[in-house]
Amino acid sequence: MDPTVEVILGRPAVEDSTDESYGEFILLGYNGPPDSASLRCSTNGRKHRSKMTFRVREQANGIKKAGISETKQNPLQNDAVKDSSKHVVSYLYYKGHAVLVEYEIDQAKDMFQIGRSSEPQIDFTIVDTWLAASSPGSVLSPLGHHRSQKVKSVNAKGEKQVSSTISRYACRILADREEPNKCYVYAAGFDTSRNIFLGEKATKWQKKNGEFDGLTTNGVLILHPNRSADTENQEMYIWREVSVDGEIYTLRETRSSTKRGDLVPDETNQLQDGTLIDLCGATLLWRSAEGLKQSPSTAELERRLDELNAGESLKIFLDV
């Protein structure tokens, strides 16, 4: 059986279920161009995988908000930002004015990060499937949004190199160590210095409760599988956007628009079994640990397939 089909439909392999896990993300499609085997080998296969299991860490590395401050100096010169032991989100405004949100370690949470970067703090490296485009024209995102190719250079084969639309630090996951079914996704991940910077042109705002929030350039979209419809005419499945602070908004008019969508207060960033995450260049499917336990095993799937094949053979025999 195709290993990708096995992962999506069946339980994970034995070696993936020996330790307690929160679940796993499955990349729909290639992780990078189809010919990127050398890229996978260069990282010993740890990064460029088709799936990644998120396990309970030996030592918690989750974070929670510790305080908010303002500065009129370049945030790069701020002591908190320069302190590589602290996680800080910086909201940059005009003339060097910035709002700094500091975080501290949360012993009840584990944090995982996803993005295009291969830096050590990124747990799951995701690469676009269209990094090399041999013909001119345009590129479509996983949602079908139209955008022009951004050609960076032409390689030795004459292929146009398209710039990636996946952020180096695309998103982060916070998982509850006591209740492993509670995993939440947030836009933006921390760099090697444990910083997130939202520049002057980034979409950001102050919420009614006084806290700050923002969106990444191309956004992190989420689609839950069991969305209840209020009316018969309402769409059952609707893509939403996740903010840096984990709140849910309707989609912007265009992927990189500076005008945010409307807040959807009754929807959550908590991952469900079957939730899809769109990183603008790659789409991830979340399978929760509980969902995988309830899925049929590989042996069960193969037995059902044999039964179907046997039934089809009998039908052909009777027709003859």
- pLDDT reported for residue 315: 63
How many Cα neighbours within 13 Å face the side chain of 298?
A: 11
- pLDDT reported for residue 146: 40
Query: What percent of the chain clears pLDDT 70, i.e. is strictly above it?
Result: 72
Strand, coil or helix: what is 79?
A: helix
- Position with higher pLDDT, 29 vs 15: 29
The two structure tokens encoding residue 191: 């760099």
Q: What is the pLDDT of residues 286-311, one digit of tens each?
A: 999 999 998 888 898 898 888 888 87
The closest alpha carbon to 220, from 207, 203, 206, belongs to 203
- Position with higher pLDDT, 127 vs 229: 127
Query: Does residue 215 register a pLDDT over 70?
Result: yes
Query: Does residue 149 register a pLDDT over 90?
Result: no
β-pairing, 109-115 with 124-125? parallel
The closest alpha carbon to 186, from 87, 291, 48, 75, belongs to 87
Asked if 100 and 71 touch (Cβ cutoff 8 Å), the reply is yes
According to DSSP H, which parts of 52-122 are helical? 79-82
Asked if 162 and 316 touch (Cβ cutoff 8 Å), the reply is no
Strand, coil or helix: what is 305?
A: helix
Q: Could you list the residue range(s) of the whole structural domain that residue 209 is in?
A: 3-319
Strand, coil or helix: what is 39?
A: helix
The two structure tokens encoding residue 97: 């004015």
The pLDDT confidence band at residue 234, using thresholds 50, 70 and 90, is low
Which pTM value belongs to this model?
0.79
The DSSP call for residue 307 is H
Contacts of 96 (CB under 8 A, 6+ apart): 72, 73, 74
Query: Does residue 153 register a pLDDT over 70?
Result: no
Query: Does residue 145 register a pLDDT over 80?
Result: no
Strand, coil or helix: what is 310?
A: helix
The pLDDT confidence band at residue 29, using thresholds 50, 70 and 90, is confident
Q: What is the pLDDT of residues 221-231, one digit of tens each?
A: 999 987 555 55
Count of structural domains within the chain: 1
β-pairing, 98-106 with 160-162? unpaired
Query: What percent of the chain clears pLDDT 90, i.e. is strictly above it?
Result: 53
β-pairing, 276-278 with 283-288? antiparallel
What average pLDDT is seen over the chain?
A: 81
* Distance in angstroms (rounded) separating the CA atoms of residues 243 and 204: 9
Q: What is the pLDDT of residues 56-99, one digit of tens each?
A: 999 999 999 999 999 888 888 888 899 989 999 999 998 778 99
- pLDDT reported for residue 32: 66
* Distance in angstroms (rounded) separating the CA atoms of residues 152 and 162: 6
